[in-house]
């Protein structure tokens, strides 16, 4: 097989997942679980704050849970990890930070490569590779919106963890899968985690203005 084709095939099966210390750790954990099911080679970056939030919010040992799906786990201080190099980004499908804290958003927006997570994200921006930030905060003030705009202008994708209700969710898992499915969509990863919008699903009495 041609070397270029081999590299492209490998890139299509590599994904970087960042889990930062925002509420919504379950989104990141679900993303890791699904990518494992789909056969992707994952590189997961976990911040110290994410570990604390996971313990308080979900009562879990985050590293232990992630290890069920991948052995490629890196803490924020491991700056010698593969994702620390911009040459690594071009061999992957992209990077998703899910959830993305407002602190992480700010660091990336201002180019502060202070830990492995922000350094990796900045690598994706500088190499024009796909970067998705699933921010989970409300309300958003002027500072947060400005930071999000800076990242969007630099080529990143800002995706608020704002689930749609046209899927007619019946349980919390439906809402989680909606967000994770949308995030995977943005990396071009086909999935059936949520029911996609269809005109045929509309209420006959509903009119689009």
Instruction: Give the strand pairing for 41-46 and 131-135.
Output: unpaired
C-alpha 113/C-alpha 125 separation (Å) is 12
Length of the chain: 209
103 among annotated binding-site residues:
yes
Please indicate if the annotation marks 111 as binding a ligand.
Answer: no
Any binding-site annotation on 70?
no
What's the per-residue H, E or C state across 109-143?
A: HCCCCCCHHHHHHHHHHHCCCCEEEEECCCCCCHH
Cβ-Cβ contacts under 8 Å for 76 (sequence gap 6 or more): 45, 46, 47, 48, 115, 116, 117
Q: Is 31 annotated as a binding residue?
A: no
Binding residue per annotation — 102? yes
Q: Is 104 assigned a ligand-binding role in the annotation? A: yes
Give the residue from 200, 199, 118 showing the smallest Cα distance to 156.
118
The DSSP secondary-structure symbol of 21 reads: S
- Give CA–CA dist 37/79, Å, rounded: 28
- Is position 182 annotated in a ligand binding site? yes
What is the CA 16 to chain-centroid distance, rounded? 8
Binding residue ranges for FMN:
21-23, 47, 101-104, 136
Question: Residues marked as binding for dimethylallyl phosphate?
Answer: 166, 182
Give the residue ranges of the annotated binding site. Answer: 21-23, 47, 101-104, 136, 166, 182
């Amino acid at each position: 097989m041609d070397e270029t084709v081999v590299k492209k095939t490998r890139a299509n099966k590599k994904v970087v997942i960042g889990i930062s210390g925002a509420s919504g750790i379950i989104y990141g954990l679900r993303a890791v679980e699904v990518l494992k099911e789909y056969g992707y080679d994952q590189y997961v970056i976990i911040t110290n704050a994410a570990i604390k939030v996971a313990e308080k919010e979900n009562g879990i040992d985050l590293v232990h849970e992630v290890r069920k799906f991948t052995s490629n786990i890196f803490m924020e201080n491991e700056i010698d990890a593969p994702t620390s190099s911009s040459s690594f980004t071009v061999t992957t499908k992209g990077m998703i930070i899910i959830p993305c804290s407002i602190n992480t958003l700010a660091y990336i927006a201002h180019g502060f490569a202070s830990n492995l997570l922000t350094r990796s994200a900045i690598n994706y921006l500088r190499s024009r590779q796909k970067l998705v930030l699933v921010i989970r905060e409300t309300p958003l003030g002027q500072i947060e919106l400005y930071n999000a705009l800076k990242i969007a202008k630099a080529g990143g994708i800002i995706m608020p963890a704002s689930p749609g209700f046209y899927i007619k969710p019946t349980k919390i898992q439906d809402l989680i899968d909606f967000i994770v499915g949308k995030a995977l969509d943005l990396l071009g990863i086909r999935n059936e985690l949520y029911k996609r919008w269809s005109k045929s699903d509309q209420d006959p009495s509903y009119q689009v203005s």
